[in-house]
Chains A and B, each alone.
Chain A
Amino acid sequence: MIRRNGFTDETLEWRSWLEPLQLAEASPLQLEVLDESHPQSRTSPYYLTLAHQPLMLRHRSAAYNAIMYAPGGLPRAERELGAMVVSVTNGCVYCTSVHAQRFEQLAKRSDTVEQVFDDAASAGTSERERAIATFAIAVTQRPNALAGDDIAPLRAAGMSDEEIIDLLHAVAIFGWANRLMQNLGEPAGAD
């Protein structure tokens, strides 16, 4: 278990500031979209909140699941590294805990997680991980000033254009996810 600078890789809960959808009142479309979004969405306050707009949730989940879970392309652990660095940069404690755990499960190690919690800007156990962390912070903090110089370290670390595009999507979608998590509710300790 890692706890540093207010971040943790422990399992947290999330509490909605809105009224999550009551399953008993859900329409067939809402149930269908919940089930295609996430295996545990019927008991998740986050998904039940987003289910108030089922067609928006359908598009969000199709994008999210393809970006984070699709086979091939950028290794999934590196997508999770990008997600974790963005979540730390945006101060999303809940998102960070989820994606720190996923990184650890996929990479079978937690050294990079400790580094990201300590200082995301210098984190990474390899040139490739450091390039990913640096790029994730740049996309998060100064999207309008991104330039070719921000891409070069990724290529120098051996990433193909296809992998860079996968990373860009993973990093960018956490700009979306962190905003929902931090503006529609708040993290809560596990029961």
Chain B
Amino acid sequence: MLQFAAALTTDPRNGDRAAIDALRSAGLADPAIVALAQLVAFLSYQLRVVAGLRAMRASGTGDAP
């Protein structure tokens, strides 16, 4: 699970079927794999929004939050 989460976070390109098979071999059913992928992928969205809002505030002009 940790390998899958790390790879999903840092290397969005190179997912493969073997990574899914490894999760299944570790006992995860498909709904659990979907939950893990959603959780990790959502964080990629969330941290980018936070970083972008921080950059807007740092840019000074305008009235960023």
CA A60 – CA B43 in complex, angstroms?
12
Given A49-B34, A184-B34, A179:B41 Cβ within 8 A: yes
**B residues lining the A interface (CB < 8 Å):** 4, 7-8, 12-15, 17, 19-20, 30-31, 33-35, 37-42, 44-49, 51-56, 58-64
Given A52-B30, A183-B19, A173:B55 Cβ within 8 A: no
Given A155-B61, A164-B56, A168-B53, A52:B44 Cβ within 8 A: no
Which listed residue (A53, A149, A179, A182) contacts B34, Cβ 8 A? A53
Given A53-B34, A90-B12, A179-B12, A148:B60 Cβ within 8 A: yes
Q: Does A183 lie within 8 Å of B55, measured CB to CB?
A: no
Q: What is the CB-to-nearest-CB distance from A132 to chain B, in angstroms, rounded to a whole number? A: 13
Q: Which of A101-109, A119-127, A139-147 contacts B (4 or more CB under 8 A)?
A: A139-147
Q: Does B48 lie within 8 Å of A150, measured CB to CB?
A: no
Q: Any chain B CB within 8 A of the CB of A180?
A: yes
B-side contacts of A17, CB under 8 Å:
17, 20
CA A57 – CA B35 in complex, angstroms?
10
CA A164 – CA B7 in complex, angstroms?
29
Q: Does B8 lie within 8 Å of A168, measured CB to CB?
A: no
Q: Does B31 lie within 8 Å of A52, measured CB to CB?
A: yes
Given A49-B34, A161-B64, A175:B55 Cβ within 8 A: no
Q: Which of B33, B51, B54 has the most CB of A within 10 A?
A: B51
Q: Does A179 lie within 8 Å of B8, measured CB to CB?
A: yes
